[in-house]
Structure 1
Amino acid sequence: MLKLSVAPPYIDASLAMSDLGQLNDWLRQRPLGQPLECAEQLRQALEQLNRARLPTAQRAKLLDRHQQEHKILLPLLERLAANGELSTQHRARHAARLAQHLALALHNGYKLLAMERSEEHGLLALDKYKTEALCLAMRSARQLAFLYARTYSTLPEGFWLDCHRLFFHALEKGWENIPLPGQAKSPAHYYRQTLLLGMTASNRMAPALIDYSLLLIRKHADQLDLLHLGHLTSGHGSFAFQPGSDHPPRFISEAPDSPSAQGIWVVDTHSLEAELKSKLQKLQYLARHQQSPFEVEEEIQHVLYLTMEWQSAILRRHERLPSEEEVELVSSLSTIWYMTNGAAWTFPNGEALPQELLPDNGMHGKLQRMPPPLPVRMQVVNTSASGMLLRGEAQYHPLRAGELLLLRGSSQPWQLAVVRWVNLCGEQMETECGVELVGPQPEAVMTLPLLTHPNDHYHMALRLPAAARPGKQPQLVLGGRQYQRQREFYLLDRQGRQVVSSTSLSLQTAGYQFMEYRPAVLSTAAHH
């Protein structure tokens, strides 16, 4: 009999909306033009349904009707969340949290259905209903995990334990590959997708890379093989998990030498790696034979990143020390540029920034040379030799994976940093982020490629001096994707203008590039 972490029903069916006709009438009256209000009403109705004692056939029909409504409403909620900034805007966080509550209520409903079906016995207890309930529960688990990844949140307690129990119950019965009626997708199909997402550090990714990761997971997760630990050879790392734990697969470098190792399963990714290698070769061929290969190059970078992601795990390099300090910070290149330029939009040589370079405040268009938002304070949870963990609210200063920060502690100088990962925690979706310090004393400069279109103009950039990085050349921090080896730029600073040549790319995030440079022999290109 299947046991899951969902409370058994305990109220009479008359106290819930348990009649299908009544539910249909009620749903037709829901204010879909007001998705936040509609979502809250639907969540309450579904949670009440999950508490009601019902015949399993009736519960299955009611859940199916709720699922139909969710297919309409959840994309609306996610669009509201995506249109805002989750780390700074309450409305965006509220929409994301409602979407999570709604998806979780549906998942709990399907888990309850799977449990009730597993308890049925007798001539009328057909296996097809039991396998269908298992598949629906696994499908809703996959949907929930995808949603939590897109909203930078940690999955609720008990999620992974129930996923493992659902699949291994199906495996024990021999039902793991039986699909839903009229479909080709089985419990094993959804379980592999959920496992592969569990092996993916989506909180380290920009939204575009998360979406691409989910696309590849849908297409290629069936290539995963699930094996007993005995297949893991010494010195060859793999992702492994214990079906009795509440954890996703985790990377291990070698098999543990303990009795508990007998219960460990391994996720074999060799077939997946072969598919990704083939995909990469096709993309590289396209990049060589296309006139404008930028989008293909972006996809190549995504595939390379995920290939590494699914072969190993990010390891902590430094010890974490608890902290009770606070830092003040700002985010984004434009705000950091303003602050390091002496709190001015006009460059020291008297040149004012073009209007199109000024940041947009989202309400009144360009800021008309108004100052950006003031720094905010966040709690330092712990520190290491390379960075820190921050927690709190950063109103008006978006904290995204890959975003630039300028921060300082009490009586300390400003330092440039990069957000490495983001988690939105708890009911209020409070922001936690891991920050890597990349250098002190950033300087506001302006750059312009020598070879560019006639209407181009100087762009905001930051410079990290070589003195702050022993043994290294100075770095430019530029927005977008401007790096090419030995590409030449005009560099405008307080001493005037010079021509520099990029030498290497030291760091790249979704929105920025850190490139080392050196003085260049003046190009014969036309001067601006």
Structure 2
Amino acid sequence: MDLHSAFDLLHVTPPDLSSLSFAAAQPAALSRWLAELPKANLGETTRRLYLAVQELNRLQTGPATRLQLLELLQPELQFACAQLEKQLRSPVVILDSRRQQIATLWHALLLQLARAAKLAASEARRLAAGDEQRSLTARALRLALQALYQLLCQHHVLYTPPSQGFWLELHQLYRFATSQQLERLALPAGALATLSIEQSYLACLLLACARTNQLRPQAILRLGEVLPAWSRLARLQAAHATDSLFAFAPATDSPPRYTKLLQDEAPEQLRGLSVQALVGVLQEYLALDAAQRRRSPLAIPDGLDDDLLQHLCSAWSAPSERSFRRISGSGRISACLGISALHYHLAGRRRFADFLQLREEELSADFQRHHRERDPWAKAFDASRNEDLLNNPHRQIDYAPGKAAPAAAEQDGEEYPRHQLQVINHSPGGYCLAWDGSSPEQLQTGDLIGLQHPDEQGWHVALIRWIRQPRGSGLQLGIELLAPRAQPCSLRTVQADGRPGQHLRGLLIGAIPALGRPPLLIAPHLPFQQGQRVLLHVDGRDQRILLSRRHVLSGSFNQFEYRSLDPAEAPKRKPVTALSLVDDGPAEDFDSLWQSL
């Protein structure tokens, strides 16, 4: 079987260098050169490694020597790529020019490594058949697949599709291994005892099926570290098998997809992927307590939390039917990012401190004004009745010179800006939106987003379900609507001694009886937990609540059902001053008044 294709991402050219410029073409000489790399200087180290692997692609030498030199270079290239990845770490999804250059360099290093390994495999197959030839070919093919796997991880971290020809190249390398019966040959793999070509190939397929556009970059990196070991629980088989949840066409440049979406393809041209055993082990692990998990047969490092494992169980299970049909859309919609911005806009464009100050308890006075803000002196620092100025947690005195109100409002707008997004399509359940220009740090999968239509005043509460950057297009967001409206509130944990903790932002979502959905509370991811007692501040009063069932939506925030711990309240006493008579509420009951007149 030929290792070349029409796309040929790993284009191999005939070697034309008789020697290396930086060291002798011998393992001992290369080891000495690698030991002298200035690793404290990432730029210089990366430059030297890049030039070295380029020259190895052109070196006229035998496959055994080429592979030995590549296997010495691989750990250093991995070190350089890991350092480059740290340079790319940023909450900002869209890359600036510098980070784009870093990503391109990372991409080029891995491509050069894979290309050199493919060249070694191509040369090794021309050797006389035997154990040494089989070992050389298998090691070279696995090295190429490992480099492509790391390259695929990079694309997933950046929410970008792999280059044209990537999947065809990957399928072709594996098909060549199967033609030589090398795919299951156990090869030493450092931290792993052994890692076969098939396991490396399956790791790529599993990553492609994991819905990583719904995960954050750090979660994708952690997943990328464990999939090669987990891949032994996945299986390639006939596409028509009942447990072939995914399928793909090895002769095309395409990743695996749900088998039910490939009904128009000829079955003989497809291969199936079964993940049933892997999902079963993950589900069993999630059902165990902490002590039992340590004895699980599946290696799960500490960095993989239950939310990520549950996401994988969902991604590697049968797809749910879409509830609503997508409709192509046009126009723009306003958006604000994060719970802080959403709380700010829902509270009437007031900062959190102002939100707490303006909502004070007004239940103790029988004779009071209905709207105290109408009194020009009502906001004076000493106008509050029965107020302890030193101990009230809602009151702050700013001794620094303040700015005028218009300037403060303008500053608020800069702190929690409204973004204008283009509508690509929509359904009753959500939107696909296009993000133009640079992205802010708050733009991450799993975060809250507020949406406001041009002809509406209120804000819809939604979730950024996925992010992607299609080839030749800008950033796109998948938005899931959570509620048509919400009420801003403040939350405080109740400590063991009964004292309340710090005020944190929260959102109340009303019940929807028609859907059987109870009232819900959106709270920050930490420190709130199921079964916790919380002090809820809303509508100017505090009430004690118990957080009950937790709904898993995201690692950024929690959504709880809750119930009140306070006894039923007596009706509020109404003010009886003249200003209360203009209230448009229901007619007053004056029976208690007649006797006192």
**TM-score scaled by structure 1?**
0.79
1:422 aligns with 2:470: no
Superposition deviation, residue 177 in structure 1: 1.9
State the distance in 1 between where 2:316 and 2:131 align: 44
Structure 1 residues 487-498: aligned runs within 5 Å = 487-498=532-543
Answering whether residue 477 of structure 2 is matched by residue 433 of structure 1, we say: yes
Matches of 1:214 and 1:269, distance apart in 2: 16
How many residues align? The count is 498
Residue 404 (1) aligns with residue 448 (2): yes
* 1:306 aligned onto 2:293: no
Q: Deviations over 1:371-423 (max 9, x none)?
A: 62533333333323222223334543422110111233434443222111122
1:248-274 alpha-carbon deviations (Å, 9 max, x no partner): 32222499487x202322223343244
Alignment CA distance shift 1:267-1:139 (3 Å): same
Q: 1:492 to 1:431 in 2, by over 3 A?
A: same
Q: Tell me if structure 2 keeps the 8 A contact 1:462–1:478.
A: yes
Q: What is the DSSP-based 3-state SS (H/G/I as helix, E as strand, rest coil) of the residue aligned with 2:355?
A: coil
Would you say 1:7 and 2:11 are equivalent positions? yes
Residue 585 (structure 2) aligns with: none
Tell whether 2:144 aligns with 1:137: yes
Residues 174-206 of structure 1, C-alpha deviations (whole Å, 9 max, x = no match)? 111224468622212211222222221122123
- Which residue does the alignment assign to 2:246? 239
1:372 to 2:415 alignment: yes
Aligned partner letter, 1:167: Y
After TM superposition, list the pairs within 5 Å mapping 1:154-173 onto structure 2.
154-173=161-180
Residue 203 (structure 1) aligned with residue 203 (structure 2): no
Conservation of the 8 A alpha-carbon contact between 2:489 and 2:508: yes
Q: Does the residue aligned with 1:513 lie in a helix, a strand or coil? A: strand
Conserved 8 A contact 2:493-2:502: no
Q: For the residues of structure 1 that align with 2:293 and 2:565, how far apart are their CA atoms? A: 29
Shift of the alpha carbon at 1:332?
1.9
Q: CA deviation at 1:331?
A: 1.6
Q: CA deviation at 1:478?
A: 0.7
Residues of 1 paired with 2:332 and 2:46: CA distance? 37
1:477 aligns with 2:522: yes
Q: Distance in 2 between matches of 1:468 and 1:437?
A: 18
Partners of 2:320 and 2:55 in 1: CA distance: 42
| Aligned 1:264-343 pairs, distance under 5 A | 264-283=270-289, 286=292, 299-313=305-319, 316-341=322-347, 342-343=349-350
Equivalent in the alignment of 1:262: 268
**354 and 28 in structure 1: CA distance in 2 versus 1, 3 angstrom threshold:** farther
State the AA in 2 paired with 1:191: Y
Specify every segment of 5 or more residues in structure 1 that has no aligned partner in the other structure, as ranges: 289-294, 356-367, 524-528
Deviations 1:83-111 (A, max 9, x none): x2241663555544432332233223323
- Give the distance between the partners of 2:456 and 2:66, measured in 1 at CA: 61
Equivalent residue number for residue 148 of structure 1: 155
Which residue type is aligned with residue 449 of structure 2? L
| Distance in 2 of aligned mates of 1:268 and 1:319 | 29
CA distance, structure 2, for counterparts of residue 323 and residue 29 of structure 1: 58
* 1:511 lines up with 2:556 in the alignment: yes
Q: Describe how 1:442-481 pairs up with structure 2 within 5 A.
A: 442-451=486-495, 454=499, 456-466=501-511, 472-481=517-526
Conservation of the 8 A alpha-carbon contact between 1:81 and 1:92: yes
Which position in structure 1 is the counterpart of 2:544?
499
Alpha-carbon spacing, 1:296–1:491, altered in 2? closer, same or farther (3 Å): farther
Alpha-carbon shift at residue 338 of structure 1 (Å): 2.6
Q: Which amino acid aligns with 1:403?
A: D
The Cα offsets for residues 301-335 of structure 1, whole Å up to 9 and x where unpaired, read as: 44333233223336544333334433343322223
Q: CA deviation at 1:513?
A: 1.4
Residue in 1 aligned with 2:227?
217
CA distance in 2, matches of 1:354, 1:99: 52
- Asked whether the 8 Å contact 1:328–1:409 carries over to 2, the reply is yes
Distance 1:68 1:354 in 2: 58
**2: distance between equivalents of 1:440 and 1:372?**
24
* Identical positions, percent: 21
Letter in 1 for 2:167: W
Counterpart secondary structure, 1:508: coil
Partner of 1:187: 197
How far does residue 45 in structure 1 lie from its aligned partner after superposition? 6.0
Inter-partner Cα distance in structure 2 for 1:510 and 1:354: 36
In structure 2, stretches of 5+ residues that fail to align are: 295-300, 358-393, 399-410, 569-597
Provide the rounded CA distance (Å) in 1 between the counterparts of 2:449 and 2:158. 21
Rate the CA distance shift 1:135–1:77 in 2: closer, same or farther, 3 A.
same
Larger radius of gyration, structure 1 or 2? 2
Judging changes above 3 Å, is the alpha-carbon distance between structure 1 residues 23 and 424 closer, same or farther for their aligned structure 2 residues?
Answer: farther
Residue of structure 2 equivalent to 1:359:
none
**How many angstroms apart in 2 are the aligned matches of 1:89 and 1:327?**
24
SS at match of 1:8: coil
Q: Is contact 2:3-2:176 (8 Å) kept? A: no
**Secondary structure, in 3 states, of the residue corresponding to 1:156?**
coil
Separation of aligned partners in 2, 1:318 and 1:370: 35
CA contact (8 A) 1:416 1:440 kept: yes
Letter in 2 for 1:198: A
Distance 1:380 1:492, change over 3 A: same
